[in-house]
Amino acid sequence: MNADIINHVSQIESKLRLDSVTIQSINEALDNNIDQAKELLNNLHFADIADLIDNATLEHKRKIIEIISVSITPEAIALIIKELDTSVMEQVIPMLGEACAQIFALMEIDDAIHVLEHLPEAKQNKIISLLPQEKRYAIREGLSYPENTAGRIMNCDLISIGADWTIAKTIDFLRSNSSVPFDFYEIYVVDDNLHPIGSILVSRVIKSPETEVISTLMNKDIHTVSPFTDQEEVGYLFRQYGLVSAPVIDRDGKLIGMITIDEIVDVIEEEAEEDIMRLAGVNEIDLHAAVLHTVKHRFPWLFINLLTACMTSFVIDMFHDTIHQMVTLAAIMPIVASMGGNAGTQTLAVIVRAIANRDLNMVNNSRIIFKQVFSNCLNGLFLAILGGAILLLWSHDFHLSLIFALAVIINFTMAGFLGAFIPLTLSRIGIDPATASGVFLTALTDIIGFVAFLGLARYFLI
Amino acid sequence: MNADIINHVSQIESKLRLDSVTIQSINEALDNNIDQAKELLNNLHFADIADLIDNATLEHKRKIIEIISVSITPEAIALIIKELDTSVMEQVIPMLGEACAQIFALMEIDDAIHVLEHLPEAKQNKIISLLPQEKRYAIREGLSYPENTAGRIMNCDLISIGADWTIAKTIDFLRSNSSVPFDFYEIYVVDDNLHPIGSILVSRVIKSPETEVISTLMNKDIHTVSPFTDQEEVGYLFRQYGLVSAPVIDRDGKLIGMITIDEIVDVIEEEAEEDIMRLAGVNEIDLHAAVLHTVKHRFPWLFINLLTACMTSFVIDMFHDTIHQMVTLAAIMPIVASMGGNAGTQTLAVIVRAIANRDLNMVNNSRIIFKQVFSNCLNGLFLAILGGAILLLWSHDFHLSLIFALAVIINFTMAGFLGAFIPLTLSRIGIDPATASGVFLTALTDIIGFVAFLGLARYFLI
């Protein structure tokens, strides 16, 4: 049954799907039969062509650009370019040659900004200088706002009406005014000072009687943002309040732009992904980046890890004599460290996301930390019993097993505390709580695990 | 300047912000002054009241529900309930008492399904049995689809028109038909068999001349889904093709529902978050869950970690004599293991997200793995030189430093391979690539690190 449905669904889809088979055939066609490649590319959705370019070798990238430059419209090329992976843009845009200016002129302002902000400044300026004056001005303004702010993703083509307008007047205005764009979901209501005071969905404009006045129909619960608002904050507002769009206002409170939910889908994805990468000590997603770029961006956290690991090593070396007297300790100590690290990472992941979702605040901080400590302490107890039993069976040394169990409980409890405390503290002092919390956390759980285990062993066993 | 803007923005906002100060005052009012608490709650946005309930103690949860039950409308309570954390729903819904059925009757179908699917079956059935027949039927149908599928998040109140309709006829239909909902963004165009063949944005309906025919205006590039499609796949379609809504079709290809972008915002967030949690070995976000629930859900991965750590321990014990002859090895070996683990985790995070974003396929698998291995190998080389130098300064033992450096390079290279190979293999055999890849990866980089270092040391040093 399920297979039936899937077959049916794929039959309905007019476009070719970008699966492995398709990619394989396109790759072969690019090498041997350019006409066939052209036909295959013509059947792909522009977003899929962008994916294809992202993943292609340099030679194939060039061939694909050559083909699409003659076979599809500049409007469609503009759509493809904006969907490229940001690390690929810099490589591909010079391949467009003379057509470059025309393509950028056809992009929406926010899309053009998205592409330009990933190019080196010289290239950025060159392209901007070739654009029509109005676009040039709008793009320069967008780029004047800091990266990852609302100003970079807002759309300036917005529609505003008066609160005293009737539905009839509103519909008339929307139909007759040529500056009103074709695609929008929500219209803003502004007062005499152009301050937004409400919003109304287009569908409600259509559904309401013609004589009704906007002020009685509009939604007054609007959530304005400044162009300087961080895009993460904007994403939060959309999720928290179920927004379809948000008005952007300037310093005087005047409406200057809007952000729509389709922009925010990418922001939300990006921000969650950023947390994954930061927790793993990766500065940015570097799948399509050059090897040297990847190496350079991953190095700093590995270097910090080298330093923290040296500290750990130094700590272990303080127990040189203890280990010498009982080498088995050296074999067992990584269990204590590794389990503490994993238990701490579990807490860390939960807390980092809770902070991102604004589920934590000053008021419940201590309760949350306590709960994490208590949960980890309990799991530590269970695993200490299990691990202690395994060790007892293996070594037949009751005291060793007992000390192992104690060290596990200590490390788990501390891991729970640190897994919550580190991100909460980073967040309070204004540092992204995901930033390499993982590296510091595991360094600490390593050290605590080794010291607890070797310390107890020196004191009680030797 | 920024502060000005922020001040202005918060003045514009009609509602109270849920910051620490507000939470603190509400908590105090709940304890001492119920009237004041009522007033404060009345000024909060429903989504913020939901957050407040999520974070409140059991006693405060009960008081808040008591207050809102009398002070706000059942419609508003319905909005609050659907925004609650899923682990809190089960606790809070019984507190609603008699009003429960009325509140569920006021929810939209997809929201009611979202709440009900998180309740135990007995309670689920009891609530459903109290609902009006039409709702009961629709909810039972939604719940008949598997969890996390399109069927659970689709909206059945959809609007479809014929391709031969004029704009005038369409507007007339939208205005006069009472079954057309108030809030929608896109209208579907269907053929005689009710198969969707296109879509048109409401704004385009308003903007187009009244005599134009829908077939010439509609967007034919629609992406249909089956109610059985995984919500992750639906989220991918929305992001990849920039969709505002997607039609859901049954086995015969008939239009039966639609999914809108506002539902998908939560799905995208959830799916990315799921990856973070799985990578960290957490089954679900358990911030608001009871301690025992948290303990139970985190235990399995910790137990697996205990077993893998025991294996590591067993491997180290094979070098018992080597360590006994040179205890310093025991102090240095965790550096090799820890750095390999971190390097592998970097690769893992990038690959897991690349799989989630469909950036990887059979064709480029090997190229991607090779790049990861090569990047890690280079970083391994740099860090081996740095770490080796530190070790040489500390131990004055050139051979030891050389062996350390070799072991680091081996472990980094293997970590790059495994960080890419493990998730790609899991994905190919149909297992979520994020599922505890982290636990297995670090187990392997530990073992490889210890074996490489201790093995080389036994062979060359002792």
pLDDT at B282: 85
Residue of A nearest to B355 (CA): A287
Residue of B nearest to A355 (CA): B287
Three-state DSSP at B158 gives coil
Task: Find, among A8, A148, A172, the residue nearest to A432 by Cα.
Answer: A148
Helix B46-55 crosses helix B74-83 at what angle (to 10 degrees)? 50
What are φ and ψ of residue B155, in 5° steps? Answer: -110, 130
User: In CATH, which of 3.50.50.60, 3.40.1690.10, 1.25.60.10, 1.10.10.10 is domain B2-144?
Assistant: 1.25.60.10
Amino acid of residue B46: F
Count other Cβ atoms within 10 Å, centred on residue A171.
17
How many interface pairs between A and B have CB atoms less than 8 angstroms apart?
A: 413
Please report, for residues A27, A48, A189, the alpha-carbon distance to residue A55 in angstroms, rounded to integers and kept in the order given.
11, 11, 45
Under an 8 A CB cutoff, do A51 and B359 touch? Answer: yes
- Spatial distance between the Cα atoms of B144 and B138, rounded to a whole number of angstroms: 10
Count other Cβ atoms within 10 Å, centred on residue A51.
23
Amino acid of residue A190: V
pLDDT at B363: 66
> What is the average pLDDT score of chain B?
89
B186-190 and B196-201 as β-strands: parallel, antiparallel, unpaired? antiparallel
pLDDT at B115: 94
Under an 8 A CB cutoff, do B310 and A387 touch? Answer: yes
Q: Which residues touch A199 (CB under 8 Å, ≥6 apart)?
A: A186, A187, A188, A189, A218, A219, A222, A245, A247
B399-446 pLDDT per residue, tens? 999 999 999 999 999 999 999 999 998 888 888 888 868 888 999 999
Task: Looking at the complex, report in whole angstroms how far the Cα of residue B120 sits from the nearest Cα belonging to chain A.
Answer: 24
Tell me the chain A residues in contact with residue B244 when contact means C-beta distances shorter than 8 Å.
Answer: 185, 262
Count other Cβ atoms within 10 Å, centred on residue A303.
16
Task: Looking at the complex, report in whole angstroms how far the Cα of residue A30 sits from the nearest Cα belonging to chain B.
Answer: 14
Tell me the chain A residues in contact with residue B442 when contact means C-beta distances shorter than 8 Å.
Answer: 338, 341-342
Residues of chain B with CATH 3.10.580.10: 160-279
Under an 8 A CB cutoff, do B269 and A330 touch? Answer: no
pLDDT at A329: 95
pLDDT at B357: 82
> What is the average pLDDT score of chain A?
89
Tell me the chain B residues in contact with residue A202 when contact means C-beta distances shorter than 8 Å.
Answer: 185, 202-203, 206
Task: Looking at the complex, report in whole angstroms how far the Cα of residue B396 sits from the nearest Cα belonging to chain A.
Answer: 15
DSSP state of B220: -
Three-state DSSP at B413 gives helix
DSSP state of B248: E
- SS3 string, chain A, reads CHHHHHHHHHHHCCCECCCHHHHHHHHHHHHHCHHHHHHHHHCECHHHHHHHHHHCCHHHHHHHHHHHHHHCCHHHHHHHHHHCCHHHHHHHHHHHHHHHHHHHHHCCHHHHHHHHCCCCHHHHHHHHHCCCHHHHHHHHHHHHCCCCEHHHHCECCCCEEECCCEHHHHHHHHHHCCCCCCCCCEEEEECCCCCEEEEEEHHHHHHCCCCCEHHHHCECCCCCECCCCEHHHHHHHHHHHCCCEEEEECCCCCEEEEEEHHHHHHHHHHHHHHHHHHHCCCCCCCCCCCHHHHHHHHHHHHHHHHHHHHHHHHHHHCCHHHHHHCCHHHHHHHHHHHHHHHHHHHHHHHHHHHHHCCCCCCCCHHHHHHHHHHHHHHHHHHHHHHHHHHHHHHHCCHHHHHHHHHHHHHHHHHHHHHHHHHHHHHHHCCCCCCCCHHHHHHHHHHHHHHHHHHHHHHHHCC
Q: On the CB side of B268, how many CA atoms lie within 13 Å of its CA?
A: 28
Please tell me the total number of residues recorded for chain B in this structure.
Answer: 462
Banded pLDDT at A361 (limits 50, 70, 90)? low
Give the DSSP H/E element, type plus range, for residue B162.
strand B160-162
Give the DSSP H/E element, type plus range, for residue B197.
strand B196-201
Count other Cβ atoms within 10 Å, centred on residue B324.
17
Tell me the chain B residues in contact with residue A302 when contact means C-beta distances shorter than 8 Å.
Answer: 339, 342-343, 346, 379, 383
Task: Looking at the complex, report in whole angstroms how far the Cα of residue A365 sits from the nearest Cα belonging to chain B.
Answer: 10
Please tell me the total number of residues recorded for chain A in this structure.
Answer: 462
The topology under which CATH files domain A291-460 is Tetracycline Repressor; domain 2 (1.10.357)
B160-162 and B186-190 as β-strands: parallel, antiparallel, unpaired? parallel
Q: Which of A356-360, A415-419, B255-259 has the lowest mean pLDDT?
A: A356-360
Give CA B409 to chain center in angstroms: 35
Q: Which of B12, B183, B316 sits opposite A224 (nearest CB)?
A: B12
Residues of chain B with CATH 1.10.357.20: 291-460
Task: Find, among A432, B346, B266, A279, the residue nearest to B354 by Cα.
Answer: B346
- List the structure tokens of A449: 């695990």
Tell me the chain B residues in contact with residue A15 when contact means C-beta distances shorter than 8 Å.
Answer: 221
- Spatial distance between the Cα atoms of B297 and B303, rounded to a whole number of angstroms: 11
Banded pLDDT at A421 (limits 50, 70, 90)? very high
Banded pLDDT at A3 (limits 50, 70, 90)? very low
Is A211 within 8 Å of A167 (Cβ atoms)?
yes
Q: Which of A19, A294, A302 sits opposite B383 (nearest CB)?
A: A302
Residue of B nearest to A439 (CA): B342
- List the structure tokens of B229: 């499609």
Q: Which of A6, A241, A272 sits opposite B47 (nearest CB)?
A: A241
For chain A, percent of residues with pLDDT exceeding 70: 95
Residues of chain A with CATH 1.25.60.10: 2-144
Tell me the chain A residues in contact with residue B85 when contact means C-beta distances shorter than 8 Å.
Answer: 359
Count other Cβ atoms within 10 Å, centred on residue A70.
7
- Spatial distance between the Cα atoms of B379 and A296, rounded to a whole number of angstroms: 8
Mutate to test the interface with A, among B30, B346, B409 (most CBs of A within 10 A): B346
Place of tokens 């080796």: B388
Tell me the chain A residues in contact with residue B195 when contact means C-beta distances shorter than 8 Å.
Answer: 12
Q: Average pLDDT of A230-245?
A: 91
- Spatial distance between the Cα atoms of B75 and A225, rounded to a whole number of angstroms: 28
Q: Which residues touch A457 (CB under 8 Å, ≥6 apart)?
A: A319, A322, A326, A329, A400, A403
Task: Find, among B95, B32, B87, B108, the residue nearest to B68 by Cα.
Answer: B95
Q: Which residues touch B220 (CB under 8 Å, ≥6 apart)?
A: A14, B197, B198
Three-state DSSP at B53 gives helix
Residue of A nearest to B2 (CA): A228
Place of tokens 């409308």: B73
pLDDT at B3: 43
Residue of A nearest to B281 (CA): A346
> Is the pLDDT higher at A174 or at B3?
A174
B99-122 pLDDT per residue, tens? 898 999 999 888 999 999 999 999
Under an 8 A CB cutoff, do B272 and A277 touch? Answer: no
- Spatial distance between the Cα atoms of B167 and B372, rounded to a whole number of angstroms: 55
Q: Which of A279, A351, A371 sits opposite B291 (nearest CB)?
A: A371
Place of tokens 């010498």: A324
Helix A109-116 crosses helix A133-144 at what angle (to 10 degrees)? 60
Under an 8 A CB cutoff, do B294 and A371 touch? Answer: yes
Under an 8 A CB cutoff, do A273 and B185 touch? Answer: no
- DSSP alpha helices (H): ranges in B253-364? 261-279, 291-317, 320-325, 328-356
Place of tokens 């890690």: B376
Q: Which of A338, A349, A362 sits opposite B277 (nearest CB)?
A: A349
Under an 8 A CB cutoff, do A13 and B303 touch? Answer: no
- Spatial distance between the Cα atoms of A266 and A153, rounded to a whole number of angstroms: 11
Q: What is the largest CA-CA distance in chain A?
A: 93
Q: On the CB side of A357, how many CA atoms lie within 13 Å of its CA?
A: 22
Banded pLDDT at A357 (limits 50, 70, 90)? confident
Task: Looking at the complex, report in whole angstroms how far the Cα of residue B306 sits from the nearest Cα belonging to chain A.
Answer: 7
Whether residue A11 is predicted with pLDDT greater than 60 in this model: the reply is no
Task: Looking at the complex, report in whole angstroms how far the Cα of residue B388 sits from the nearest Cα belonging to chain A.
Answer: 11
Tell me the chain A residues in contact with residue B1 when contact means C-beta distances shorter than 8 Å.
Answer: 251
- Spatial distance between the Cα atoms of B166 and A178, rounded to a whole number of angstroms: 21
B62-75 pLDDT per residue, tens? 999 999 999 889 99
Name the CATH architecture for the domain at A160-279: Roll (3.10)
Give the DSSP H/E element, type plus range, for residue B216.
helix B214-217
Give CA A124 to chain center in angstroms: 24
Whether residue B10 is predicted with pLDDT greater than 50 in this model: the reply is no
Q: Which class for A383: exposed (0-12), middle (13-18), buried (19 or more C-beta within 10 A)?
A: buried
Tell me the chain A residues in contact with residue B303 when contact means C-beta distances shorter than 8 Å.
Answer: 383, 386
pLDDT at A12: 39
DSSP state of B256: E
A286-338 pLDDT per residue, tens? 777 888 888 998 999 999 999 999 999 999 999 999 999 999 999 999 999 99
> Is the pLDDT higher at B392 or at A11?
B392
- Spatial distance between the Cα atoms of A450 and A410, rounded to a whole number of angstroms: 11
B121-176 pLDDT per residue, tens? 999 999 999 999 988 999 999 999 999 999 999 988 888 999 999 999 999 999 88
Tell me the chain A residues in contact with residue B26 when contact means C-beta distances shorter than 8 Å.
Answer: none
